[in-house]
Amino acid sequence: MVYHIPWIYTPVRSVLAIWHQLTKAEIPELAKCSVLMRDRSRVEDTIYAMQRAGAGRLQVISDFDMTLTRFAHNGKRVPTTHNILDHRLLIDEDCSKKIRELLNTYYPIEIDAGRTAEDKLPLMVEWWTQVHELLIQQRIRKDLLAQAVKESSAMLREGYKVFFDRLTEQQVPLLIFSAGVGDVLEEVIRQNNVFYPNVHIISNYMDFDQTGVLRAFQGQLIHTFNKREGALSHASGLRVLQGRPNVLLLGDSLGDLTMADGVSEHQNILTIGFLNDQMDERKELYVKSFDVVLVKDETMEVPNAILKYITSSTDNKLDA
């Protein structure tokens, strides 16, 4: 057999290797030192397969707080949707103090690499339930939410506009799946002019009485570690996501990895994790869990580059 003759076999193998390299995704941003990958080759193969299938087969599922929003800016933490509600117009000082104490108690638990998700789950329910009860007691007014968002230091990640614009241009649905507060989340993206029709949101929505005063939260509580249930009960039923078996998933918490569990007959899933905090303690776990890990990267540069590649048609690619 010709393949067993070494001097022929070697060139054949090299040609095959070069051909394989050429067909793989070429994304220079993946070479940045802030990008970690457990299996670079698999990442490239997945991106390439998603590109071949095209934008029409793609959906993007993203977490919101600390994924689409920045973690910090100029050395200061950027507020989450819950923290935006910590505004003098909406809640009094005593409530603000209690919510901050709860954050200081439970956030370290949320990100503790030494505890399992099962351990954390009841504690997250405790955190969210207490905060929501405190907010309800404050009788928050719906008509003041927009002003609180405007006066907050909420900030989407650098490059967010390219991300939202690209998805809308390519008619790719973006599912934002957040354990934050839906009404506040909507206001943040509205004020940043990216609340486009292809954006769908699953989150904790406020329930207001007839006079516009908060009286409860709607539906089942979503916290960081029960997104799988929400994915199965809500996301799987969204018609706009049907027939799109390729998923680009973005998150900052390990709990975010279950956001695509409701996608039936998925073909390719690429998970991107922002590692914002406790880098040394969590790096190994994140690299094991997400396909691509972005360490202390406050930008959308890498997701945008991947998205651009996936949504570029083969013709465009050959023309370039």
- Site residues for Mg ion per CB under 5 A: 63, 65-67, 252
Among the listed ranges 28-36, 45-53, 172-180, 294-302, the one in contact with ligand TMP (CB under 6 A) is: 172-180
Answer whether 45's CB lies under 8 Å from 24's CB: yes
With residue 226 as reference, give the H or E element that holds it. none
What's the min distance (Å) between Cβ of 124 and Mg ion? 12
Distance CA 201, CA 180 (A): 11
The question of whether 165 is a catalytic residue gets the answer: no
Cα 289 to chain centroid, rounded:
14
Taking CB under 6 A as the criterion, which residues in 1-60 touch ligand TMP? none
Among 46, 58, 61, 127, binds ligand TMP (CB under 6 A): 127
Of 95 and 179, nearer to Mg ion (C-beta) is 179
Among the listed ranges 126-134, 205-213, 231-239, 309-317, the one in contact with ligand TMP (CB under 6 A) is: 126-134
Number of residues that bind ligand TMP (CB under 6 A): 18
What's the min distance (Å) between Cβ of 63 and ligand TMP? 5
Q: Single out the catalytic residue among 39, 65, 92, 280.
A: 65
Burial class (CB in 10 A: 0-12, 13-18, 19+), 8: exposed
What's the min distance (Å) between Cβ of 263 and ligand TMP? 18
The question of whether 65 is a catalytic residue gets the answer: yes
What's the min distance (Å) between Cβ of 61 and Mg ion? 13
Residue with tokens 């990100």: 111
Region of residue 15 (phi > 0: left; psi between -120 and 50: alpha; otherwise: beta): alpha
Distance CA 145, CA 214 (A): 11
Taking CB under 6 A as the criterion, which residues in 198-257 touch ligand TMP? 224, 253
Answer whether 156's CB lies under 8 Å from 66's CB: no
Taking CB under 6 A as the criterion, which residues in 84-103 touch ligand TMP? 99, 103
Given ligand TMP, Mg ion, none, residue 86, with its beta carbon under 5 to 8 Å by kind, binds: none
Distance CA 82, CA 134 (A): 12
Count the Cβ atoms, other than its own, within 10 Å of residue 318: 8
- Positions marked catalytic: 63, 65
